Structure 1
Amino acid sequence: MGTEVGRHQFTREDRARHRQKVRQCLDVFAEMLRGSKFEFERPMTGLEIELNLVDDEAEPAMRNAEALAAIADPDFQTELGQFNIEINVAPRRLAGDGPADFERHVRASLNAAEDKARTVGAHMVMIGILPTLHREHLTLESLSANPRYALLNEQIFAARGEDLEIRIDGVDRLAATADTVAPEAACTSTQFHLQVSPGDFAAYWNAAQAVAGVQVALGANAPFLFGRELWRETRIPLFEQATDTRSEEIKAQGVRPRVWFGERWITSVFDLFEENVRYFPALLPVCDDEDPAQILAQGGTPQLSELRLHNGTVYRWNRPVYDVVGDLPHLRVENRVLPAGPTVVDTIANGAFYFGLVRTLAESDRPLWSQMSFSAAEENFHSGARHGITATVFWPGLGYVPVTELVLRRLLPMAYDGLDAWGVDAGERDRLLRIIEQRCLTGRNGASWQVDALHRLEDERNLERADALRAVLQRYIPSCTPTSPSTSGRQTANPRADQGLSRRSRAFPSIKGERSCFDLRSTAVCP
């Protein structure tokens, strides 16, 4: 989301020119697909993690500019809110110890960045939504300085013509209004990128859509918002509502939302880009001087900037990406369904499960999407977000089944086969998928951990909700990101988690550790 946009006002002529240019880009893209002008022989994978910044009192720290200046690493970039930053990990191949290489790089980068961010009074947290976040933290003033964010805010509310309404019915109920897109900044996610060929793109995107509900159920890590216990992955309904350009009347007419699961299985990547152009007006009608048709005719690679920028303002949970690296174009599926955290190894395990599972499904002789309606996949997605690891989902041949049973019986073996097909070392495959297995056996993930911690603090210590949520976050950080790996195969709870929950100027440990705190081998699974 960090692309710089310089223009601050758009005229009618800008919008008309942009519409013409983006349609030209779409035509050129179609011609490129016919000509097979894409790099895919050595497919790469990528990873992005959005992070929250908190102060010593576990409150949101509006210091991303200072933190980024202190970190001084181009892998770290700004995000929507001043309490957000993002790490973009360089692409890697999965073969061999690719997942372990991701893990080592992410762990080292986050530890180094945390040490530097501390010098400006900020600490990094990998979590879907900060439990200590309140409405007063989400205002126009809390948006980052990148002009793109102010422009997006302006354009979304110009399209709506009225304030946003956020309504989420979960364990508790939330009804709130907002006059900016700042509530979107509450949602911090993990994004997996998978490079695929044009011919395989539809199969991989369909597979990613089919398993999105399972992913979010297993990885849920955002049960709280504004002091309320809502969905186990509250990030999903919040993001769907916080960037909605439609008024109630427009919704009633069936106009598609910009945060979109989609409405059908596809046969080509072109389907998605064409839908984006056909259904969604431009939010940022910025044009450059490139003539994509001329560049393609001369044997070059067009950037298709207008199409790419427009694509970036349609927030599909599995987004198609066109990119150019070294004058070679490629296509990626960007998987955006998971929250950040809780740990580095949990993140890598989530990636291993996803990459392995979609490989097996995409290469299946009988595609899953030929046996399953698209509406069933969307229902699974929202069921997984609402209920988390206790969700029940639909699966062909099984009907409605607990998601943990589905994973243990059907999906984990597929993920094993898929990682084998990617060439991942057997030891890495087993280590990471065992974490997914143990989540299913224990019924514990980030969201259930947070909820259990909250209820214990409220019931046993008689804490008020705000104090209990702060204590949850203060315990989450050292428990889910232990300061050092155990050599005995067991972790002990960090004793600082029980000391002085309201102590001022607490220092938070760095993001370290070797295994998930939700693994059965760990004793630090509950506050």
Structure 2
Amino acid sequence: MGDLNVRSVQSRHEQQQFMRYLLRDVQALERMLQENWFESDIVRIGAEQEMCLVDSRSLKPMHINLQALEIINSEAFTSELANFNLEANLDPRTFTGTALSDMHQQLKETLDSAQQKVHATGATILLAGILPTIRKSDVEIANITPLDRYRALMDGLAALRGEAFELRIAGIDELNLEQETAMLEACNTSFQVHLQVSPDDFVRKYNYAQALAGPTMAISVNSPMLFGRRLWHETRIALFQQSIDIRTFTDHLRDRSPRVTFGKDWLHSSIMEIYREDIARFQVLLTTDVDEDVMAMLEAGTTPRLRALNIHNSTVYRWNRPCYGISPNGKPHLRIENRILPSGPSVPDAMANAAFWLGLMNGMEDSYPDITQHMEFADAKANFFAAARFGMDTQLTWTHGIKISPSDLILGELLPMARTGLQKAGIAPSDIDKYLGIIEARTASGRTGSSWMLKSFNVLAKQKVHRDEIISAITASIYQHQHEGKPVHEWDLACTDKWEYEPSSMLVEEFMTTDIITVQEDDILDLPANLMDWRRIRHVAVEDHSGKLVGLITSRMMLRHYGHAINQPHRGTPTLVKDIMRRDPITVAPEDSIIKAMELMQSRRVGSLPVMKNGNLIGMITEAEFLDITSALIKRLARRGGRVAGARPEAVDSNSPAQEQPPAGEEEAPNA
């Protein structure tokens, strides 16, 4: 949980003042390490669970997090960047005995209690690395949580970037977009696990965390989709790095690090290496009024908070983050925060992921006293990103350069290692069997959260289910299985029969097509005629040489043109698109509702609407998209023994007399 009492840097003087505090904190930390101030006779674990607030009917983001915090009224909960996210902080506990099952019980009770309290608002709570139903409009700046820290963070990143943030992620599908702020990061939610480590063990343990990032990632992937696109198995990784990347392209090969980073090398001597590197590489983003003289406090024997250091550390996003804190007994301690694990798929899965990682962190030393002597850092880093892209379907490079699949590595070496580590910690045998049993079953079945989502998507897509209904059905199934408390390897694939799909709440961005065929106004008319024939479409957008929308051409227009041309003498010059296109077509915005789009098509008697954002063509909706949605609803009613009542939609009945002679200047709806 970040410090909320911060602000963006407003002047060079503020930046210089905060840097003085930051450097003093580093000096104080180094002195404390040299003088053995740190707690080293106990190991504690903890966790932070991020979650999404969604509408209980549509299962799409519900922007009420501050209202929800008031209703929940618990110090365990805090806000997150977007106003549809919350975070629950679990109690630190000694890593022994029933610590894991106790944490599990607290997490379940915390979520259940919050769920019951927010029910009256129409909201529910859902765990997902990236919520499948999230929309681009949900992460616009208007949906930032209205607290100074978040606004200061967005302002600081935007100032350093100096231009729009770009997102380019390719998987089965591809996503390319830009946004003026770093709000896209708010799509991500995670289950962050903390492990307290003594200073003497920190270097060794931190390197273990880096080496284990790849296989831990592979077995826990749960974020394969963003905005309806199938991307990486853990899209969070690419999304987080790109969404707050302040680097811009230049024609020089300067080596600059992103603020979201895996690191560049093994740790060699001390935690100080990380803090010094982060100060050297990353500019100060946030500042605050520091009210402690850290050196005077050390002289007085008082543990300082090192507030400046912690604030700067909170704006550098290492996947394994070093943390400084103060224990209840007043002694300082060091922790490793695992930021790799996504939220979900279920509470048992999250706890199994945590148990697996904690066991490995405690058991690896028996096989690899110094992992840097057995493994290249480049391999550890490559493993992490390969696992994020392909999940369990990747190949890892393990110790001594051995190539191995994640399943063979986990079943053959890592599960026994994790069991040994948990046993050494004195974890209850029943807890060890329960949580490692989930990891073993998930590995043997190959069913991670991501593979379950992708398989569900593919099965429903083969049934010709509309994309929005697919992701809604997947989200509904996640919600159902989470409340049943079943781990993901026991889940049935998502289907459309267990949830009442309600497209009336859809936005244009959720059902528009983004695979747009365009022509230019100076193209010959034969080009769009052939494109329509080849692609079986009736509408083609027309752009100018700069890519701006200037018109629309439809099959009806061309039929009329060619019909008239039969009786006309042959012209020496070809007819161009601009000769018959409709200029300045009626458009909609991506955040407009499906109802507004439907009413606009009906009232203006058009069969298509280009979708515009900031002057750019980003999509198209036609009567075909409405037909897909209507068809799905009719089929479901038929399966349930229902019948369809009501008048025919005017927009799809192009043979009605009213549409044969449209008002002057309007484009007719094409024949269905």
Give 2:67's aligned residue.
66
Give 1:177's aligned residue.
178
Given that residues 361 and 367 in structure 1 are in contact (C-alpha distance below 8 angstroms), is that contact kept between their aligned partners in structure 2? no
Given that residues 479 and 494 in structure 1 are in contact (C-alpha distance below 8 angstroms), is that contact kept between their aligned partners in structure 2? no
Rounded to whole Å, the distance in 1 between the matches of 2:450 and 2:244 is 24
Given that residues 78 and 86 in structure 2 are in contact (C-alpha distance below 8 angstroms), is that contact kept between their aligned partners in structure 1? yes
Give 2:128's aligned residue.
127
Rounded to whole Å, the distance in 2 between the matches of 1:20 and 1:278 is 14
Give 1:285's aligned residue.
287
Give 2:156's aligned residue.
155
Which secondary structure state, in structure 1, belongs to the residue aligned with residue 341 of structure 2? Answer: strand
Alignment of 1:391-470 (within 5 A): 391-397=394-400, 399-460=402-463, 462-470=464-472
Corresponding letter in the other structure for 2:395: T
Give 2:107's aligned residue.
106
Rounded to whole Å, the distance in 1 between the matches of 2:253 and 2:154 is 23
Give 2:271's aligned residue.
269
Given that residues 49 and 191 in structure 2 are in contact (C-alpha distance below 8 angstroms), is that contact kept between their aligned partners in structure 1? yes
Corresponding letter in the other structure for 2:483: T
Corresponding letter in the other structure for 1:73: S
Given that residues 220 and 339 in structure 1 are in contact (C-alpha distance below 8 angstroms), is that contact kept between their aligned partners in structure 2? yes
Given that residues 481 and 491 in structure 2 are in contact (C-alpha distance below 8 angstroms), is that contact kept between their aligned partners in structure 1? no
Rounded to whole Å, the distance in 2 between the matches of 1:397 and 1:413 is 20
Aligned in 2, Cα 1:7/1:408: closer, same or farther, shift over 3 Å? closer
- Offset at residue 249 of structure 1 (A): 2.8
Give 1:10's aligned residue.
10
Aligned in 2, Cα 1:445/1:480: closer, same or farther, shift over 3 Å? farther
Give 1:512's aligned residue.
none
Give 2:347's aligned residue.
344
Rounded to whole Å, the distance in 1 between the matches of 2:499 and 2:93 is 41
Aligned in 2, Cα 1:502/1:261: closer, same or farther, shift over 3 Å? same
Given that residues 2 and 314 in structure 2 are in contact (C-alpha distance below 8 angstroms), is that contact kept between their aligned partners in structure 1? no
Alignment of 1:28-427 (within 5 A): 28-55=28-55, 56-249=57-250, 252-266=253-267, 267-326=269-328, 327-362=330-365, 364=367, 366-397=369-400, 399-427=402-430
Corresponding letter in the other structure for 2:22: V
Corresponding letter in the other structure for 1:16: Q
Corresponding letter in the other structure for 1:464: H
Aligned in 2, Cα 1:85/1:472: closer, same or farther, shift over 3 Å? same
Which secondary structure state, in structure 2, belongs to the residue aligned with residue 119 of structure 1? Answer: helix
- Offset at residue 274 of structure 1 (A): 1.3
Which secondary structure state, in structure 2, belongs to the residue aligned with residue 429 of structure 1? Answer: helix
- Offset at residue 369 of structure 1 (A): 2.1
Deviations 1:447-494 (A, max 9, x none): 11111111111112x112122111111112102431799xxxx88899
Given that residues 322 and 334 in structure 2 are in contact (C-alpha distance below 8 angstroms), is that contact kept between their aligned partners in structure 1? yes
Matched, 1:481 2:483: yes
Corresponding letter in the other structure for 2:456: A
Rounded to whole Å, the distance in 2 between the matches of 1:120 and 1:494 is 27
Aligned length: 501
Rounded to whole Å, the distance in 2 between the matches of 1:425 and 1:366 is 25
Corresponding letter in the other structure for 1:190: F
Corresponding letter in the other structure for 2:442: R
Rounded to whole Å, the distance in 1 between the matches of 2:253 and 2:61 is 37
Report which structure shows greater RCO (CA 8 Å, sep ≥6).
1
Deviations 1:236-287 (A, max 9, x none): 0000011112222399411111101001111211111111112111101334
Rounded to whole Å, the distance in 2 between the matches of 1:2 and 1:416 is 33
Aligned in 2, Cα 1:8/1:39: closer, same or farther, shift over 3 Å? same
TM-score by length of 1: 0.91
Rounded to whole Å, the distance in 1 between the matches of 2:333 and 2:251 is 36
Corresponding letter in the other structure for 1:167: R
Aligned in 2, Cα 1:108/1:495: closer, same or farther, shift over 3 Å? farther
Given that residues 460 and 495 in structure 2 are in contact (C-alpha distance below 8 angstroms), is that contact kept between their aligned partners in structure 1? no
- Offset at residue 183 of structure 1 (A): 0.5
Given that residues 132 and 227 in structure 2 are in contact (C-alpha distance below 8 angstroms), is that contact kept between their aligned partners in structure 1? yes
Gaps of 5+ in 1: 506-527
Given that residues 450 and 476 in structure 1 are in contact (C-alpha distance below 8 angstroms), is that contact kept between their aligned partners in structure 2? no
Given that residues 455 and 493 in structure 2 are in contact (C-alpha distance below 8 angstroms), is that contact kept between their aligned partners in structure 1? no
Given that residues 259 and 315 in structure 1 are in contact (C-alpha distance below 8 angstroms), is that contact kept between their aligned partners in structure 2? yes
- Offset at residue 373 of structure 1 (A): 1.0
Aligned in 2, Cα 1:184/1:499: closer, same or farther, shift over 3 Å? closer
Rounded to whole Å, the distance in 2 between the matches of 1:229 and 1:365 is 37
Corresponding letter in the other structure for 1:42: I
Rounded to whole Å, the distance in 1 between the matches of 2:240 and 2:43 is 30
- Offset at residue 364 of structure 1 (A): 4.5
Rounded to whole Å, the distance in 2 between the matches of 1:354 and 1:452 is 26
Rounded to whole Å, the distance in 1 between the matches of 2:392 and 2:482 is 18
Given that residues 456 and 494 in structure 2 are in contact (C-alpha distance below 8 angstroms), is that contact kept between their aligned partners in structure 1? no
Given that residues 2 and 77 in structure 1 are in contact (C-alpha distance below 8 angstroms), is that contact kept between their aligned partners in structure 2? no
Given that residues 8 and 155 in structure 2 are in contact (C-alpha distance below 8 angstroms), is that contact kept between their aligned partners in structure 1? no
- Offset at residue 59 of structure 1 (A): 0.9
Deviations 1:152-190 (A, max 9, x none): 100101001001000001111110101111110100001
Aligned in 2, Cα 1:493/1:273: closer, same or farther, shift over 3 Å? closer
Rounded to whole Å, the distance in 2 between the matches of 1:81 and 1:53 is 10
TM-score by length of 2: 0.72
Gaps of 5+ in 2: 506-672
Given that residues 474 and 494 in structure 2 are in contact (C-alpha distance below 8 angstroms), is that contact kept between their aligned partners in structure 1? no
Aligned in 2, Cα 1:340/1:491: closer, same or farther, shift over 3 Å? closer
Corresponding letter in the other structure for 1:50: E
Deviations 1:83-136 (A, max 9, x none): 100110001123111111011111111111101111112111111001111211
Rounded to whole Å, the distance in 1 between the matches of 2:394 and 2:148 is 40
Aligned in 2, Cα 1:119/1:279: closer, same or farther, shift over 3 Å? same
Given that residues 45 and 91 in structure 1 are in contact (C-alpha distance below 8 angstroms), is that contact kept between their aligned partners in structure 2? yes
Aligned in 2, Cα 1:504/1:278: closer, same or farther, shift over 3 Å? same
Aligned in 2, Cα 1:19/1:122: closer, same or farther, shift over 3 Å? same
Aligned in 2, Cα 1:252/1:71: closer, same or farther, shift over 3 Å? farther
Percent identity reads 35
Given that residues 231 and 387 in structure 1 are in contact (C-alpha distance below 8 angstroms), is that contact kept between their aligned partners in structure 2? yes
Corresponding letter in the other structure for 2:399: P
- Offset at residue 9 of structure 1 (A): 5.3
Aligned in 2, Cα 1:497/1:416: closer, same or farther, shift over 3 Å? farther
Name the larger-Rg structure.
2
Given that residues 66 and 120 in structure 1 are in contact (C-alpha distance below 8 angstroms), is that contact kept between their aligned partners in structure 2? no
Return 1-10 or 336-345, whichever deviates more. 1-10
Aligned in 2, Cα 1:9/1:26: closer, same or farther, shift over 3 Å? closer
Deviations 1:417-453 (A, max 9, x none): 0001110011110111011011111000111111111
Given that residues 376 and 394 in structure 1 are in contact (C-alpha distance below 8 angstroms), is that contact kept between their aligned partners in structure 2? yes
Aligned in 2, Cα 1:366/1:455: closer, same or farther, shift over 3 Å? same
Aligned in 2, Cα 1:303/1:499: closer, same or farther, shift over 3 Å? closer
Aligned in 2, Cα 1:7/1:263: closer, same or farther, shift over 3 Å? closer
- Offset at residue 61 of structure 1 (A): 0.8
Given that residues 127 and 188 in structure 1 are in contact (C-alpha distance below 8 angstroms), is that contact kept between their aligned partners in structure 2? yes
Which secondary structure state, in structure 1, belongs to the residue aligned with residue 437 of structure 2? Answer: helix
- Offset at residue 390 of structure 1 (A): 1.6
Rounded to whole Å, the distance in 1 between the matches of 2:448 and 2:427 is 25
Deviations 1:312-331 (A, max 9, x none): 11000000000123421110
Rounded to whole Å, the distance in 1 between the matches of 2:353 and 2:368 is 25
Aligned-pair RMSD on alpha carbons? 2.1
Return 299-308 or 379-388, whichever deviates more. 299-308
Corresponding letter in the other structure for 1:25: D
Corresponding letter in the other structure for 2:32: M
Corresponding letter in the other structure for 1:18: F
